[in-house]
Structure 1
């Protein structure tokens, strides 16, 4: 059994490995997280969260501490490369995979555990989040540990069996750490699950096994010390931003242009659960037909469906918000493997929904293959030889994950997971980083390193204000307009650099004329800002003959 968990842990890490170093810093969330962590290493202040001179209180401290630990262990300090920060996310996904397999093994058996772990390790959502240095991968680990412990306590109680003594403590530790990672998400997931079970069963006696009194105290010991420090240090500003603006704002209205109508997560499901979207939906539909007499299925459905509906109702939507629900359907895929074909029969309305999702699986599979081939041609004008293996692996994964009579063997699940992992390795690790027109920041920083007149040259950037530029070009980088860029050059004519759209060069020269100086264009960087969709032609300038 231990070897199975070790295999899944290493399998997940291998699936996340490609792209950790080759994928440039991604705007905007990842860049903001890693820059705030970098500033902790620069300042030595590991209690406050800052992005340049501004506070960054949208999320608690947990992920910054974990990333700081990775940076500290690397020995690189504030100069650590991006892959060091991303190791935390890769580790978070690996823990979630093992925790999912552990839960499925206890509930449904060893083969179910292996299948559930493979499914979670290989879906597109975890493949992406495992390569990005932000909160969601480690939040997933906390959610699965908490829900896995809760599931085992609940099912044991329903069977009048004892549950392991460590389970309530694991549940409350995961709650405390989850709060430090991303606020109320982990407790909300567990609370919604519990409330739905209570509503259907009208029996709360099993909750005594959670040891809520001592458990809440344990969670408070994890969370409260930092909350007290940051409340004092920020003068209450943390609560205003984290709760008043971020949390309430997302619930009340669509924030940061991410407002979407209900149905968004249904439309994106086939992509983010790829290549196991169809078998996972089939497992969920089959579970509905057996849920009356099986508390294990009742728990999985109470985990997934209410949380998904709740997120559909919240105006602010991003694909990764629903990630904590996906392990529940991975568990159901494991359960489905234990059924005979006669037991896995769907009703007529379920069959229609099943085949609609089959269409989604085909579209996403063909779409990924097309992107592997078409994206390099469109963005770089050249064919990438890695496109063919990426497309082949994507097509193979989609084919292998297409269920026969609503069932897949464990071997076929493993083969589909391996093919999907290979597709991600080539697509995310090799093809996407080669799309140089969309990666403006690395090219800007390369131009700075090649052209900077002084070791301590500071850049002022007009119009291009992506946070990745702060992380890669330095914390002292100034985000300004053309007038501010001219003033920056005039203040330090020997060393200062400015990044200004080429179209604004006349305005830059005009602003400098008052100081008797002119600007010399050192480099031109053309490309597309993928965060905004703007095509840009940027010039790197310094003062001519300072």
Structure 2
């Protein structure tokens, strides 16, 4: 008995020492503000990086932009021509080269695959979340974590933060430039001056003149509309700063213009900037006030805080908030007169929105209007998520409708994003039950990562290019490749061969690969056909999707296959033939 008591006392003493050691470590961390700040920054970065990486390994490159960027970087690497990008053996002059350089660096580390192509965007978005955390320390020190977390969890960030395109890199440098601009409006600073002009240069190298137009229109709105008080811009050192910025750009631009004989300017600026502003790209319809509506979807679930956004600007009006409002509206003003309308065009202004709602959570008491507006949007999207889940369950077994898991995943993602955002709001305003809020956020975060992974695998198994790509493995370098109807850039990336987008006019001598689109059905019509097939069983054979496996790749073959065209969100059937 004495030995048992002795062991018990010894264990109790060790337990007490462990608790004391834990409390001592906790106090050391909490009292060390610098260490605490570094740990929080690491948390924000890892939270963002893991969230955006989920599913990015298996998600196929989405037509049409992702394969073009990824393949152009590969061809730049293979040709060892780092000035001028190529795609499918031809000039690709619609974007400057920074994103290709970043992809090439990623390829050299991780090989050429979907994740390495997306890594620059994922890293840019993760770094941007850290910048927003630091930026928000001046406005919402108590709840500054709210700013980067709500930014990362918004719909448009979740989409473009994991895409192999130039957008997130551009948004990163625009945000850095705006942060520096605001600091320079307060006082002169050589460090912020260099950050401003270098960010403008790198922003241009990422996606062209939009990185200059956003700060320019921000200042115009700030100086002449919202603040209207003298604001010195002498601290920008405009002439030497502009020369410095242009000098950085010219290190690439002059050799590139010489090599392409001016085509880079003619196509990059003339076709892809000016012409898209005057003529709608791909015959897209022009929708009046499009950019006053689309942010409510793009910013969701944080768009539910729009009432708080308005209340904060009204009650906490200041020079900084006038600048943030000008920043948020600048891209909307720029692209409202642009013929081509795409929801991600106004992303450079989104960081300003999150910085304002960070203040709202920290300082502004919610009004009846802001609460009702938030409830309205939450209920609206909750009902929308239930509708998508219902469509998934009602569409029949997965054998008949392979899109069922996709609909279930999308519905679940919308529901979990709403839950995560609601828990953040609850954490901010309900001090008594924050443990519950943290538990809900952690559960939603982990579940979302899992759902992103499942969704990516489902889309990979349904993507038509992914399904047919095993036939490309034995394709020789000299193969003649023709596609008609289904002319998606992903064919070029996954085969790494030159394709001609023409119908096959005569019999080809091997080696060759030929495919022709037989039918294409929009997803809405395809799903309607599924439900009609359930009501009329005799039509079920005609309305069901088919995802039969391909025969093993050989030296020759022919057949038909169908799958999802991710670029057009349609269900496509093609016939193919090849001989190597």
Fold shared, TM-score > 0.5 on shorter chain: yes
1:467 maps to 2:503: no
User: Following TM superposition, by how much is the alpha carbon of 1:371 offset from its aligned partner in structure 2, in angstroms?
Assistant: 7.1
1:345 maps to 2:367: yes
Q: Is the 8 Å Cα contact of residues 523 and 540 (structure 1) preserved in structure 2? A: yes
Distance 1:262 1:231 in 2: 37
1:298 maps to 2:322: yes
Distance 2:188 2:429 in 1: 31
Distance 2:265 2:399 in 1: 43
SS in 2 for 1:325: helix
Write the mapping of 1:229-240 to structure 2, written as runs, cut at 5 A: 229-240=255-266
Q: Is the 8 Å Cα contact of residues 420 and 445 (structure 2) preserved in structure 1? A: no
User: Following TM superposition, by how much is the alpha carbon of 1:235 offset from its aligned partner in structure 2, in angstroms?
Assistant: 1.0
Q: Is the 8 Å Cα contact of residues 386 and 426 (structure 1) preserved in structure 2? A: no
Deviations 1:202-256 (A, max 9, x none): 4444312223233223212221121111111111111111111111112212112
5+ long unaligned stretches in structure 2: 1-36, 520-554
Distance 1:101-1:233 versus aligned 2 partners, 3 A rule: same
Partner of 2:23: none
User: Following TM superposition, by how much is the alpha carbon of 1:165 offset from its aligned partner in structure 2, in angstroms?
Assistant: 3.8
1:41 maps to 2:77: yes
Write the mapping of 1:266-281 to structure 2, written as runs, cut at 5 A: 266-279=292-305, 281=306
Partner of 1:506: none
Distance 1:130-1:533 versus aligned 2 partners, 3 A rule: closer
Distance 1:147-1:41 versus aligned 2 partners, 3 A rule: same
User: Following TM superposition, by how much is the alpha carbon of 1:103 offset from its aligned partner in structure 2, in angstroms?
Assistant: 0.9
Distance 2:252 2:333 in 1: 32
1:114 maps to 2:145: yes
Distance 1:219 1:379 in 2: 57
1:197 maps to 2:222: yes
Write the mapping of 1:86-235 to structure 2, written as runs, cut at 5 A: 86-105=118-137, 107-154=138-185, 157=186, 162=187, 164-200=189-225, 201-235=227-261
1:381 maps to 2:395: no
Deviations 1:342-399 (A, max 9, x none): xx436x7x78866664554445544565577678968962597798787556424314
Distance 1:133 1:380 in 2: 32
Moved more, 374-383 or 427-436: 374-383
SS in 1 for 2:182: helix
Distance 1:474-1:169 versus aligned 2 partners, 3 A rule: same
Distance 1:371 1:420 in 2: 22
Distance 2:385 2:439 in 1: 16
Q: Is the 8 Å Cα contact of residues 277 and 361 (structure 1) preserved in structure 2? A: no
TM-score, normalised on structure 1? 0.82
Q: Is the 8 Å Cα contact of residues 520 and 542 (structure 1) preserved in structure 2? A: yes
SS in 2 for 1:537: strand
Larger-Rg structure = 2
Write the mapping of 1:329-408 to structure 2, written as runs, cut at 5 A: 329-341=353-365, 344-345=366-367, 357-358=377-378, 360-366=380-386, 369=389, 381=401, 391=411, 394-402=414-422
User: Following TM superposition, by how much is the alpha carbon of 1:166 offset from its aligned partner in structure 2, in angstroms?
Assistant: 1.3
Distance 1:409-1:377 versus aligned 2 partners, 3 A rule: farther
Distance 1:134-1:453 versus aligned 2 partners, 3 A rule: closer
Distance 1:164 1:178 in 2: 21
Distance 1:219-1:303 versus aligned 2 partners, 3 A rule: same
SS in 1 for 2:284: coil
Moved more, 530-539 or 385-394: 385-394
The one of 512, 515, 522 equivalent to 1:496 is: 512
TM-score, normalised on structure 2? 0.78
Distance 1:520-1:186 versus aligned 2 partners, 3 A rule: closer
The one of 323, 328, 339 equivalent to 2:352 is: 328
Distance 1:474-1:388 versus aligned 2 partners, 3 A rule: closer
Distance 1:409-1:190 versus aligned 2 partners, 3 A rule: farther
Distance 2:279 2:514 in 1: 37
Distance 1:127 1:375 in 2: 27
Distance 1:302-1:407 versus aligned 2 partners, 3 A rule: farther
RMSD over aligned Cα atoms? 3.3
Write the mapping of 1:228-267 to structure 2, written as runs, cut at 5 A: 228-267=254-293
Distance 1:104-1:64 versus aligned 2 partners, 3 A rule: same
Partner of 1:444: 468
Distance 1:198-1:389 versus aligned 2 partners, 3 A rule: closer
Partner of 1:85: 117
Distance 1:258 1:33 in 2: 22
Q: Is the 8 Å Cα contact of residues 218 and 330 (structure 2) preserved in structure 1? A: yes
Moved more, 130-139 or 217-226: 217-226
1:283 maps to 2:283: no
Distance 1:427 1:226 in 2: 42
User: Following TM superposition, by how much is the alpha carbon of 1:4 offset from its aligned partner in structure 2, in angstroms?
Assistant: 1.7
Distance 1:257 1:477 in 2: 25
SS in 2 for 1:166: helix
Deviations 1:419-453 (A, max 9, x none): 6644653444322431467411111111343xx48
Distance 1:418-1:454 versus aligned 2 partners, 3 A rule: same
Partner of 1:515: none
